[in-house]
Amino acid sequence: MCDIRPFCGLRYNLQRVEDPSSVICPPYDVISPEQRSLYHRASPYNIIRLESGEDEPGDNSGNNKYTRASSTLSSWISEGVLVRDKKPAFYVIEHRFLHQGEAISRWDLLARLRLEDFSSGNVRPHEKTTKKPAADRLTLLRTSRTNFSPIMGLFRSDEGKMLALLRDTARKAPDFAAVDRDGVEHLLRIVDEEKTVGQITDHFREKPVYIADGHHRYETALQFMKEHRTLDAGENKAVNFVMISLMDSTDSGIVMYPTHRLIRGLDPISARRLKEAISLYFTAIPVPSLPENEQGESGWLRGFHQHAAPVIGLYNGSGDFTILKLRRDANLAGVMSDREMRVWGNLDVVLLHRLVIESVLSFNSENGNAANIEYTRDPHEARTRVDSGEFQFAFFLNPTPVSSILNTADMGKRLPPKTTYFFPKTPAGLVLNPLWDD
């Protein structure tokens, strides 16, 4: 159903780079300005210079962070800092990290994915986006013609056969190993044996691919491909593909974090009556006291996440925390179809958006009320910003099950913006995907 292919990646030359950990960085959209500066200082060869460069005084149309990224890429290739693999390969990435005190691994397959309109059904999105594809990603793609970081994808398991194949690569030593600033170890192994490459390619001919992270980058790559249809004729040209890091949906190493919602912009009367307004759908269970320190708060959150779904946390300042549980007699017929109810009936993020944000608050989370809604993965930050008066409410959520992502995409629907956050992100700098040849 989809076209997954090996490719000749660009990789750091370990004879020129002494510390591989100093040259990787997270994808552009999770890097703060402060972190960007840290990565720039980490190494003169850090991939941040290509993935997310800095603006400088005097920048113009002929000299800016995009043109600098392109010239830096050319320099690194000519200097031998980056070298091209001679043989098409898949790249297996093992991510080793601690989660809740347990050492676990997640296995990704890095490949090229043929770009297709979502209408084909071969590549399936699962999440709404809050804006059009980022203009800066398209400008960077136009100037550099290279994918510096992969989008992330999922595929349905085939009784673990592909996952077993990926894990089997651990028999050989990694070809590249780096540790990121979260302490995650990323081990990359090259798979270029003809038989194994054929097995992987054939496997994906029978399956759709689900976008897990990087909807904007996929849409940007699709637009870039369409711009080059008349310039680069030929269906096998590299411009028709995007680099993707694929995960088996049953991999026990997949970790998902929830993204909590911060709300402001309600008039005082509506704010005071919020709990009354949502009582049509939810039973409110007050929490007597909210721990004041971060350690205690983390313990409370673990307890909250253990509540049977669906459950939502509501915080409105001064330690006033309430657990919202969906009422058994809640009438959802007006906000969900029968088909949506079967997939989303126990999914807290959809219930929050449909029943509270859209129905009670009359906010449009996709664009119309963007200034009234912000998102954070940090529960302490959410509470602090409500206590400071910057926001009126914080809604806390549980992680979204992977099965809900797949079932939503199969239904042809999309979850609300910022529903999923996969950890760890596949970093930029492990392999680059050049689009200028083939």
Domain of 339, CATH number, reads 3.30.1760
223 and 145 in a common domain = yes
pLDDT at 286 over 80: yes
64 and 8 in a common domain = yes
SS3 sequence of 151-210: EEEEECCCCCHHHHHHHHHHHCCCCEEEECCCCCEEEEEEECCHHHHHHHHHHHCCCCEE
**Which pTM does this prediction carry?**
0.92
Quick one: CA dihedral 315, 316, 322, 328, positive or negative? Answer: negative
pLDDT of residue 364: 77
pLDDT of residue 135: 86
223 and 100 in a common domain = yes
Average pLDDT over every residue of 281-302: 70
Average pLDDT over every residue of 126-146: 86
> Which domain does 292 fall in, by range?
259-398
pLDDT of residue 230: 62
Q: What is the chain's mean pLDDT, rounded?
A: 91
- Structural domain count, the chain: 2
326 and 269 in a common domain = yes
pLDDT of residue 437: 72
Please write the tens of the pLDDT for every residue from 84-132.
999 999 999 999 999 989 999 999 999 999 999 999 999 999 998 766 6
Please tell me the least confidently modeled range out of 141-145, 236-240, 286-290, 428-432: 286-290
In this structure, what are the phi and psi dihedrals at residue 11, rounded to the nearest 5 degrees? Answer: -135, 160
Would you call 244 helix, strand, or coil by DSSP?
Answer: strand
Domain presence at residue 418: no
Could you tell me which residue, 365 or 382, shows the higher pLDDT? 382
Please give the single-letter amino acid code of residue 179.
Answer: V
Please give the single-letter amino acid code of residue 146.
Answer: T
